[in-house]
Amino acid sequence: MSQISIPFNRSSLVGRELKYIIQAISIGQIAGDQSFTKRCQTLLEKFLDAPTVMLTTSCTHALELAAFLLDIQPGDEVIVPSFTFVSTANAFLSRGARPVFIDVRPDTLNLDETKLEALITPKTRAVIPVHYAGVGCAMEALLAIARRHGLVIIEDNAHGLFGKYKGRPLGTFGALATQSFHETKNLTCGEGGALVINDPQYTQRAEILREKGTNRSRFFRGQVDKYSWVDVGSSYVMSDVLAAFLCGQLEAWEHIQTRRRRIWNVYHERLAGWIAAKGARGPVIPPECEQAYHMYYLLLPALEVRTALINHLKARGILSVFHYLPLHLSAMGRKLGGKPGDCPVAEDVSDRLLRLPFYNSLTDADQERVIQAVLEF
Ligand SMILES: Cc1ncc(COP(=O)(O)O)c(C=O)c1O
């Protein structure tokens, strides 16, 4: 087998990441909630035009924090797309809720809002839209349904930082939203995330739950004279060493997004003819969405074609990947009662979707190699 020379993802420095890490260490600020965390939070609040953003150790932990804040209890139901990463469901399952899997739309692969009302029961507490590939879900329809049934919306915006729906940033529609800075995301610090708090009723408690159930943040602001245990909680604070890295990336956001937009557009334009000839399709971006340029995927006509294309690219030193196994058909999903046919669109696209190499430092020449290799197939 040939060696992989173009990986699927590769992290890179884009700005002052190393300078900031050295600065954090030299001023002795390596625990969390110090100056770099505050800088990142302020930048994110500005980008999103959101009242409060709290950095967390991951998007998974931001989702867990959201489940805590909603006081999710055993017996509650939470509606999540089947076509997503496990954390979208696990955060609520681990509080005792039953994840109810909803199918996705065939165009954007976002949860299908037309199937939502049929899944709502008196036990439903929340809906978790995932803006797949950074393309916005139909938020107007989702908000109207949620309002009608008294449900909370928590956006899993792991893919969608800088995406917009009808001109409004993704991550600002739900009462809460979560971001990921995992190394596969547009902006990263290796492992990291954030909780976006759009409904201020959650802010004070979020601060406590994120700090092990203590009022430590109030203590540091001089609002109480000692800090103590006041609630349940866990340890969701990001180290300032990672926040320093993230700060370097956040400050370079325009450069990153410009590069990613170009990579995406080049794939889309150069592969359009091949896609049509093969009976495949690329991503669909509805006119009301400004996408976040998180990934470029192909939907191939069949599983066998995808397997052959992966092998063809691998033989040329190029790594392409697929995801997600529909959650309702995973080992855990089946334990929860999932069975084939429950979410037919998710089941179908899961077999046919292929992600091409896509990272900030992907050079024009390497992208051209990927394109030529696909065109030869
Ligand atoms: C849709 C979605 N939600 C949540 C996560 C979890 O993110 P993290 O790795 O930051 O916990 C991911 C990770 O890739 C994801 O794709």
Question: What does the CA dihedral 258, 259, 264, 267 come to, rounded to 10 degrees?
Answer: 140
Q: How far is the CA of 189 from the centre of ligand 1 (A)?
A: 14
Residue 1: per-residue pLDDT = 52
pLDDT attached to residue 249: 98
pLDDT band at 139 (very low <50, low <70, confident <90, very high): very high
**Hey, which residues does 211 pair with through a beta bridge?**
235
Q: Pocket around ligand 1: residues whose beta carbon is below 6 Å from it?
A: 58-60, 84-85, 87-88, 130, 156, 158-159, 180, 182, 193
CA distance 212 to 57: 13
- Digit-coded pLDDT (tens) for 220-266: 889 998 889 999 999 999 999 999 999 999 999 999 999 999 999 99
Question: How far apart (Å, rounded) are the C-alpha atoms in residues 299 and 218?
Answer: 50
Which tens digit of pLDDT belongs to each residue from 97-125?
A: 999 999 999 999 999 999 999 999 999 99
Torsion from C-alpha of 178, 179, 183, 184, nearest 10 degrees: 90
Structure token pair of residue 337? 């009662």
Phi, psi of 243 (to 5 degrees): -60, -35
- Per-residue burial over 284-304, b if 16 or more Cβ lie within 10 Å, else e, is ebeeebbbbbbbbbbbbeeee
**What stretch of H or E contains 276?**
helix 253-277
Ramachandran bin of 222, using left for φ above 0, alpha for ψ from -120 to 50, beta for the remaining angles: left
158 CA from centroid of ligand 1 (Å): 6
* HEC-encoded secondary structure of 215-263: CHHHHHCCCCCCCCECCCCCECCCEHHHHHHHHHHHHCHHHHHHHHHHH
Q: What is the pLDDT of residues 329-377, one digit of tens each?
A: 999 999 999 999 999 999 999 999 999 999 999 999 999 999 999 999 9
Q: Which of 9, 55, 57, 60 to mutate to test the pocket of ligand 1 (most atoms within 8 A of CB)?
A: 60
Residue 296: pLDDT over 70: yes
- Per residue in 146-189, pLDDT (tens digit) is 999 999 999 999 999 999 999 999 999 999 999 999 999 999 99
How far apart CA 294 and CA 296 sit, in angstroms, is 7
Average pLDDT estimate for 43-51: 98
Q: Give dist(CA 140, CA 300) in Å, integer.
A: 30
**pLDDT at site 33:** 96
Asked whether residue 312 carries a pLDDT value surpassing 90, the answer given is yes
Distance 63 CA to ligand 1 centre (A): 9
The single residue listed with the structure tokens 């909630």 is 33
Q: Is the pLDDT of residue 271 over 80?
A: yes
Mean pLDDT on 69-93 = 98
pTM for the model stands at 0.98
Report which protein residue has its CA nearest ligand 1's atom 16: 85
Residue closest via CA to ligand 1's atom 7 equals 59
Model pLDDT, residue 80: 98
Percentage of residues in the chain with pLDDT exceeding 90? 97
The pLDDT assigned to 373 comes to 98
- In angstroms, what is the span from residue 275 Cα to ligand 1's centroid? 28
Beta-bridged to residue 165, according to DSSP, are 168, 289
Give the model's pLDDT for residue 194. 99
| pLDDT at 16 (0 to 100) | 98
What is the position in ligand 1's atom list of the atom closest to the CA of 185?
14
CA of 63, closest atom in ligand 1:
4
Residue nearest atom 14 of ligand 1, based on CA coordinates: 85
